[in-house]
Amino acid sequence: MRVLAIDSSGLTATVAVVEETQTIAEYTVNYKKTHSQTLLPMIAEMAKMIELDLSTIDAIAVAGGPGSFTGLRIGSATAKGLGLALDKPLIHVPTVDALAYNVYGCEDIICPIMDARRNQVYTGLYTFSSRAGEKPDSNLVEPVFQVMKMQMAVSVEELIRRLNNYARPVVFLGDGVPVYQEMLSAGLKVPYSFAPSYMNRQRAAVVGALGIKYFKAGKFETAAEHRPEYLRMSQAERERAEREKKAVTEVREMTMEDAAAVAEMEHQLFPDAWSEKSVLETLEQEHTICLTALKAGRIAGYALVYTAADEAEIARIAVAKELQRQGVARAILQKLEELCVEKSISKVLLDVRESNTPARALYESAGFREDGIRQRFYEDPQEDAILMSRGVGK
């Protein structure tokens, strides 16, 4: 089996062509240039040097995270693009697993650390245990790679506490070592060491070797399925989330231009999602109230309501997952109340899945009361609906 391996999850950019018993080629750069400048030229140069036709590889192994958000996106995009073009499967190799696999055969605790900023690291705990060969007369020892703690994002202080509890020698590697070496030295109460330079950073040959093992175990995916694993939000995403949390929620009547975003949110939240056409058709009807909630300039939620005589029935009310529990649904219900008063509507009705405890609690706190049960009303999965209502202006 022949695998093209890619790792751009950290400061190092590295590519390799690996077979089951040997590394054919490896190209590694740990320098100032960005991975977007280096990765594809490295693959092209390596393929040229070994006269490799990329269509002859069997799979593409890629370090899928955690790590640098930009680096992961570049590596994943490169692997996906090649996988789609060559029609080859992708092998998602966890970055920290591959780092630990550098120290093959080590029976101490192997602790890769990648700098995640803010005194945090991406890490995991690993070791190798020895076992005799399967044949009775064999003296061959086969080190078994063991994951003691799956990759995670933790503070350096928490990592030190956990390692001290194990009371076993530890070997560290990764780009977090020079950043946090003093903290580790000050806090550790167990014997420790640092891996030498030739094995203390990412190596694509290791990603490829571990990838072959994963492939044989059935752990691979299509290029279209591949997604990098970030473990936490990027700085930009955290800042946006903080802005959105503090932002005032504005609720207005829905426009035709909102329909596409509403339909997209439908598909993210519901198995029986409304299409954009269905949303538009609802908007065009005379006896409806359609509301959109905005927070920090983006659509945060919406409500689709049908009216008849002096009653209004909420057909759909939803809030984006990342903005839930921030008062968006309450703001929508408040705006609906105001419009119902203007339209002389005296009662609002809705139904909710029996198992949706958070939504039922929200409605009850907003003055809705249970009226009855509609059995097996919902599909996918089948479930009873709780009917609820409240008076307007009460």
Please give the residue range of the domain that contains residue 334.
239-391
Q: Is the Cβ–Cβ distance between 30 and 12 less than 8 Å?
A: yes
Same domain? For 217 and 276 the reply is no
For the domain that residue 157 is a member of, what is the CATH number?
3.30.420.40
Cβ atoms 281, 259 nearer than 8 A: no
Short-list 126, 125, 142, CA closest to 134: 142
List the end-to-end C-alpha distance of the chain, in Å, as a whole number: 71
| Number of domains into which the chain is organized | 3
Q: What's residue 137's pLDDT?
A: 59
Instruction: Give 259's Cβ-side CA count (13 Å radius).
Output: 14
Q: What is the CATH number of the domain that holds 314?
A: 3.40.630.30
Element (H, E) at 299: strand 298-308
**134: its two tokens:** 């399967």
Query: Is 213 in the same domain as 257?
Result: no
Question: What average pLDDT does the chain have?
Answer: 91
How does pLDDT run across 254-275, given as a tens digit for each residue? 999 999 899 989 988 988 889 9
pLDDT at 325: 87
Band (295; pLDDT cuts 50, 70, 90):
confident
pLDDT for 245 beyond 70: no
Residues 186 and 207 in one domain: no
**Are both 121 and 256 inside the same structural domain?**
no
Please tell me the least confidently modeled range out of 14-18, 106-110, 123-127, 238-242: 238-242
Residues 48 and 182 in one domain: no
How far apart CA 368 and CA 381 sit, in angstroms, is 25
- Rounded-to-integer distance, Cα 362 and Cα 365, Å: 5
The answer to whether 51 and 67 are in contact (CB under 8 A) is no
pLDDT of residue 37: 87
Residues 353, 283: Cα–Cα separation, whole Å? 25
Q: Are residues 73 and 153 in the same domain?
A: no
Of 126, 129, 231, 110, the C-alpha closest to 177 is 110
Whether 277 and 139 share a structural domain: no
Residue identified by tokens 């968006």 is 328
> What pLDDT score was predicted for residue 229?
85
Q: How confident is the model at residue 244 (pLDDT cuts 50, 70, 90)?
A: low
Per-residue pLDDT of 26-38, as tens digits, reads: 999 988 778 888 9
Q: Please state at what angle helix 156-166 crosses helix 177-187, rounded to 10 degrees.
A: 50
Whether residue 89 sits in one domain with residue 114:
no
Between CA 310 and CA 51 the distance in angstroms is 77
Q: What CA–CA distance (Å, rounded) separates 144 from 257? A: 57
Q: Is 309 helix (H, G, I), strand (E, B) or coil?
A: coil
Higher pLDDT, 89 or 245: 89
Beta strand 249-253 with 141-155 is unpaired
Do 115 and 88 lie in a common domain? no
Q: At what angle do helices 35-49 and 69-86 cross, to 10 degrees?
A: 40
Please give the distance of CA 14 from its chain centroid, rounded to a whole number.
23
Does residue 183 sit in the same domain as residue 286?
no
Q: What confidence score (pLDDT) does residue 212 get?
A: 96
Same domain, 224 and 85: yes
Please check whether residue 215 is in contact with residue 3, taking contact to mean a CB–CB distance below 8 angstroms. yes
Do 170 and 292 share a domain, yes or no? no
Q: What is the pLDDT of residues 43-80, one digit of tens each?
A: 999 999 999 999 999 999 999 989 888 899 999 999 99
Lowest mean pLDDT among 33-37, 118-122, 215-219, 330-334: 33-37
Q: Which two tokens stand for residue 14?
A: 């590295």
pLDDT given at position 242:
66
CA distance 21 to 148: 27
